[in-house]
Amino acid sequence: MKKSSVITADKQGLQEKPAFLTGKRIYLRPLEMTDLQTFYYWFNNPELRQYVQMPYPVSIEQEREFIDNAMKNTDPIVLAIVLKHADRLIGDIFMSPIDRVHRKASLGIAIGDTNSQSMGYGIEAMQLLIDYAFNTLNLHRLELSVYSFNVRAIKCYRKLGFKEEGRSREAFFGHGQYHDILQMGLLEGEWWRIKSR
Ligand SMILES: CC(C)(COP(=O)(O)OP(=O)(O)OC[C@H]1O[C@@H](n2cnc3c(N)ncnc32)[C@H](O)[C@@H]1OP(=O)(O)O)[C@@H](O)C(=O)NCCC(=O)NCCS
């Protein structure tokens, strides 16, 4: 067989970047500076901003610093969420701060491509990162906070096994009124039990 006739996924241009964690329909890879324009657009988009803690305009310089920081450090761990079939960036997922003493970390996720929301990609990305946190980083506990009106995210986290652990009343102002912030947590033992079902 001639060398040129060997077709790989890479040569067809389906997946040009290295996958760090691979799921059924998505893969997670390290961020790159080529993600800059897309992130700049997403994190200024009101439709996304209403759910994440970003009330101020984000400049391209700030976004560049965020990506640069993610590329150089192991806290935060930020990974791009990419659709396998189209090799298209649809969001990012992160872990920070990571507490090595108490073996715990906070998680966050944003499916920035609004057309790719509510299609189960969020759950799949979280499953990959949770598995990585418990299986590879040897963490014991994961936590996150979510605005009380973000029903989709709360459903997603509950489905993954996160339990509501607290509620900061009227701690967030958005859409002209105050909202509660829910604190949720997941322990490694709970995750193993869910996985073994
Ligand atoms: C929150 C987020 C990660 C969820 O991922 P997703 O891929 O969009 O959601 P999923 O398709 O996995 O759906 C999760 C659950 O919410 C439900 N859901 C989907 N869209 C919904 C909507 N518009 N309203 C209410 N529930 C909804 C789904 O049915 C599913 O529950 P089910 O399996 O019991 O039916 C994603 O929507 C996102 O990034 N949103 C914007 C940023 C954000 O909110 N980040 C989280 C901040 S804490």
DSSP assignment of 109-160 equals EE--SGGGTTSSHHHHHHHHHHHHHHHTS---EEEEEEETT-HHHHHHHHHH
- pLDDT of the residue at 197: 86
- Cα–Cα dist 71/187, whole Å: 28
Task: Tell me whether residue 156 is in a domain.
Answer: no
Between the CA of 144 and the centroid of ligand 1 the distance, in Å, is: 15
Closest-CA residue to 148 (of 125, 124, 173, 129): 173
Exposed, middle or buried by CB within 10 Å (0-12, 13-18, 19+), for 87?
Answer: middle
Give this prediction's pTM. Answer: 0.93
3-state SS class at 27: strand
- pLDDT of the residue at 24: 97
- pLDDT of the residue at 17: 84
Domain membership of residue 59 as a residue range: 3-139
Nearest CA residue ID for atom 36, ligand 1:
111
In degrees, to the nearest 5, what angle opens at C-alpha 106 toward C-alphas 187 and 80? 115
Number of domains in the chain: 1
Task: Tell me whether residue 70 is in a domain.
Answer: yes
Question: Which residue do the tokens 């189209």 mark?
Answer: 86
CATH number at residue 37: 3.40.630.30
Between the CA of 151 and the centroid of ligand 1 the distance, in Å, is: 7
Between the CA of 165 and the centroid of ligand 1 the distance, in Å, is: 20
- pLDDT of the residue at 23: 97
Task: Tell me whether residue 165 is in a domain.
Answer: no
3-state SS class at 191: helix
- pLDDT of the residue at 14: 62
For the chain, 197 residues long, give each residue's pLDDT as a single digit of tens.
333 333 334 445 567 789 999 999 999 999 999 999 999 999 999 999 999 989 999 999 999 999 999 999 999 999 999 999 999 999 999 999 999 999 999 999 999 999 999 999 999 999 999 999 999 999 999 999 999 999 999 999 999 999 999 999 999 999 999 999 999 999 999 999 999 98
Task: Tell me whether residue 15 is in a domain.
Answer: yes
Q: Return the C-alpha torsion angle 61, 65, 68, 69, nearest 10.
A: -170
- Cα–Cα dist 107/130, whole Å: 9
Task: Tell me whether residue 149 is in a domain.
Answer: no
- pLDDT of the residue at 161: 98
